[in-house]
């Protein structure tokens, strides 16, 4: 039977997963990424943001609402005027999640570097790193010596 603390942790993890999914979904659209890029320069009215796009004000407003739901944009309304501001916190959370896989990619780059070094050594006629040449079967290479 789960304790209250375990249930709370599970619910919080579910909330974090949901938020992360919303962030990645919001970032998947190039228009929304462009809106975020525009908001890097400060706070803007929705109409100011929309002026930079060839789509309608209503379409830009819908994109902004997706960004708001993902927590990437905060909106302040004063009557009919809506001012938007970037909130980069969820982007940081997504970056932390992605960074978990950096070890995998670093290992892949290291393997590529070793392979490229080996190719270059062979091209230059030098033995592979680690000293002795090996035969195709994996054992030490034997030279044919005529007596």
pLDDT at residue 130, as a whole number: 61
pLDDT at residue 126, as a whole number: 73
Q: Which residue has the higher pLDDT, 7 or 98?
A: 98
Residue-wise pLDDT tens digits, 84-127: 999 999 999 999 988 888 888 888 888 999 999 999 888 888 76
Residues present in the chain in total: 147
By the 8 A CB rule, do 60 and 28 touch? no
pLDDT band with cut points at 50, 70 and 90 for residue 143: low
The residue ranges of DSSP E strands in the chain, in sequence order, are 44-45, 73-78, 81-86
Mean pLDDT of the chain: 82
What does pTM read for this prediction? 0.62
Measured N-to-C along each axis, helices 57-69 and 30-39 cross at an angle, to the nearest 10 degrees, of 80
CATH, domain range 4-87: 1.10.10.10
Q: What is the mean pLDDT of residues 128-145?
A: 53
- Phi, then psi, of 87 in degrees rounded to 5: -125, 100
Q: Where are the domains of the chain?
A: 4-87, 99-124
Structure tokens at 115: 């392979």
User: For tokens 């993902």, what's the residue?
Assistant: 70
């Amino acid at each position: 039977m789960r304790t209250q603390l375990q249930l709370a942790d599970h619910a919080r993890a579910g909330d974090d997963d949901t938020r992360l999914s919303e962030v990645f979904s919001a970032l998947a659209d190039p228009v929304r990424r462009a809106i975020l890029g525009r908001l890097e320069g400060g706070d803007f009215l929705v109409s100011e943001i929309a002026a930079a796009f060839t789509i309608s004000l209503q379409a830009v407003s819908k994109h902004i609402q997706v960004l708001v739901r993902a927590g990437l944009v905060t909106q302040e309304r004063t009557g009919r005027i809506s001012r938007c501001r970037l909130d980069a916190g969820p982007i940081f959370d997504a970056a932390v999640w992605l960074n978990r896989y950096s070890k995998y990619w670093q290992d892949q780059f290291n393997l590529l570097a070793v392979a490229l070094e080996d190719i270059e050594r062979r091209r230059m006629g030098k033995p592979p790193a680690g000293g002795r040449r090996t035969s195709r079967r994996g054992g030490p290479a034997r030279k044919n010596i005529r007596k």
